[in-house]
Amino acid sequence: MVLVSAAALIDPDGRVLLAQRPAHKAMGGLWEFPGGKVEPGETPEAALIRELAEELGIGTWASCLAPLTFASHAYDDFHLLMPLFACRKWEGTPSPREGQRLAWVRPARLRDYPMPPADLPLIPVLRDWL
């Protein structure tokens, strides 16, 4: 079981930030919600705050992370459990810090971006909520 925490960063225009996985990583080229693995002893919120700082150079707070939904997906070699938090407030401007590309996407266009299988069920929930 791998626990990963992810964020739907939502800008004032209602767009959602997606990050493209670098080509050299597993599932390279696919688009995903920013986030990463929860380390031992870390809460999903703390992991997400850390990952957003590392990956995008932004800061946010646990009080700004609203639990929205989660994904539970069996890959060939592990099972992924991924809570998705909505976040509308952060400090700084998201910028790619790990070689990834970023895109601000309207909810109705999220399906236009190829995503890992675990992320796909999150799209309708996010579209309906926004």
> Among candidates 106, 90, 101, 85, which has minimal Cα distance to 35?
85
pLDDT of residue 27: 87
pTM attached to this predicted model: 0.94
Tell me the pLDDT band of 22, cut-offs 50, 70 and 90: confident
pLDDT in tens, 86-106: 999 999 999 999 889 999 999
Q: Which pair of structure tokens corresponds to residue 66?
A: 């609203």
pLDDT in tens, 41-88: 999 999 999 999 999 999 999 999 999 999 999 999 999 999 999 999
Architecture of the domain delimited by 2-129: Alpha-Beta Complex (3.90)
Beta bridge pairs of residue 36: 5
Rounded alpha-carbon distances, angstroms, from residue 123 to 8, 42, 54, 106: 10, 26, 24, 11
